[in-house]
Amino acid sequence: RCVLETGFYKVNYLQLHLTDDQLFSWPSRAYPKLHDERSGWTWDAFVELEAYSQARGVTIIPEIDVPGHSTILRKRYPEVFGNNPTELATLPGALVGMKALIDELLSVFAATPYVHIGGDEAYGVPGDVQRDFVNSLSRHVVANGRRAIVWEGPRLGEGEHKVDTNVLHMNWRTIDF
């Protein structure tokens, strides 16, 4: 059980990295085969965590890390998310699936001003493809009144393939800019 001791640590944001190649912790209702019982989290537990965090002034930032950390998405629903990260970033059905997952997150984490969509370590995905994918997801997040966050992933780019300026970047290497 997660306990938020905000007074002691002076934490007012908590980012939940809900997906990775090894575990998918989000209990999706749209794509139930994604969820792994090993995560220990249920839909109701996340609802309870959101209420608990809001009562203590903590904003939860949910993260589904794509296209790089998408092994489970692709293994369990290849017909939706494709067979590799580039397909996930280009298939129209994958974009529909990602929007459905984001909508689920927002239905539980209603107070968050942010949705983290990943973007890092998308090896083999061409930069323009990745930037276009980030922008597509960002537009959906913005249409829902939130702001998208990405890890330091693709270079910012130029022209029509530039990452939207409203996307917030979390950088740790700073070599890609």
Task: State pLDDT tens for residues 5-16.
Answer: 555 667 799 999
Rounded to an integer, the average pLDDT of 37-48 is 93
Q: Is 20 a residue of the active site?
A: yes
Is 48 noted as a catalytic residue in this protein?
A: no
Which of 36, 87, 121, 164 is catalytic? The answer is 121
Distance CA 81, CA 97 (A): 7
Least-confidence region, from 23-37, 38-52, 57-71, 145-159: 145-159
- Rounded mean pLDDT, 141-153: 94
pLDDT at 174: 62
Mean pLDDT of the chain: 91
Verify whether residue 69 is a known catalytic residue. Answer: yes
Write down the pTM of the prediction. 0.91
Sequence-distant contacts of 102-105: CB under 8 A, at least 24 apart: 102/64, 102/137, 102/140, 102/141, 102/144, 103/144, 104/26, 104/28, 104/29, 104/30, 105/18, 105/26, 105/62, 105/64
Find the catalytic residue in 20, 36, 87, 164. 20
